Amino acid sequence: MERDNQILDKLEKWIDEYLAEMEKKYENSQAAMDKINHIKNTVILTKRMTSNDRMSVIATKFHDIGRFKQLELLGSFNDGALLHHNVGEDVITRAVFKGELDISKELNAIRQVIQYHGRQKFIPYKPELDEGVSELIDIVSRVDEIENGCIGATGYLIREAEEDAKGYRKNSPDLDMKSVSPEVWEFFSKGEKFDKMKFCKTYADYTLFASVLAIQALKGNDREIAKAAMDLKCNGYESALDGYKDIFSKLIDSKYNEKAFEILREFYDKGQIDKKAPSIENHENHESHDL
């Protein structure tokens, strides 16, 4: 699909100004700054992954546009209460209504990226997507997961647990937030991605979900990019791998945090795991919580 460079100029100018406005508006919010940094990091990853394909870079800048309105409305990034993909579509619709953005095939492609990045299973019928959009969604989804799993998570996991940003403590006050659901452990130990909205009940679960995003990248075609990302100094740690070791020790039950790190480290070293992961023996804290 050919792109109109004049339209891309206008789209990039608009999103750059919007992100600058959000950075100024939320300069005292660590959560918002984490999201700004997330977008900047994903743009760097997209440039590397696509040899600086302009449409991919601009779509990446747009992908989390709904996060700031979500933060304004909820005070957190809780997709269970308000899905940022849908809020992002609303932001675009308002910009079009006010005459700030014009309808175009490029903008339509970006809208589909906003709606379906990281949730391709919700695309009703792929042939209905505009030409080239499936590839755009794939690229943005991959860099989104690499950044979240390999860099960003080491900055927000402890803070979100302390703030109860996901509402797990509020929803299940009697549940130990360091306990790991058996189903989550099974997915994690195999390095399999799972639905956090369905399976995460505690911040230990949520921590393992974040690390599975890293594992997915370490297992796949983006392994070298993921390893390079995990080797970077970030969020006060010498590397993301060191960060995960510390975070696991603080957010996961002592019976399992070292085992969890061993599993993550093996995927980092080899891209696969050779031994059968240990099972969770005590399920008593989860029996009353239907998944």
CA–CA gap between residue 279 and residue 186 (Å, rounded):
8
The whole-model pTM stands at 0.79
CA–CA gap between residue 77 and residue 25 (Å, rounded):
17
Position 287 scores a pLDDT of: 35
Over residues 23-39, the pLDDT tens digits come to: 999 999 988 999 999 99
Distances (CA, A) of 235 to 40, 148, 162, 207, 264: 15, 13, 16, 16, 19
Position 226 scores a pLDDT of: 93
Percent of the chain topping pLDDT 90: 77
Distances (CA, A) of 45 to 8, 118, 150, 166, 183: 20, 16, 12, 27, 31
Structural tokens at position 90: 């609303």
Low-confidence residues of the chain, pLDDT below 70?
1, 126-128, 274-291
Position 279 scores a pLDDT of: 57
Position 283 scores a pLDDT of: 39
Give the SS3 label for residue 237: strand
Question: In the chain, what are the domain boundaries?
Answer: 5-142, 166-270
Residues 6+ apart with CB under 8 A from 291: 181, 183, 198, 199, 201
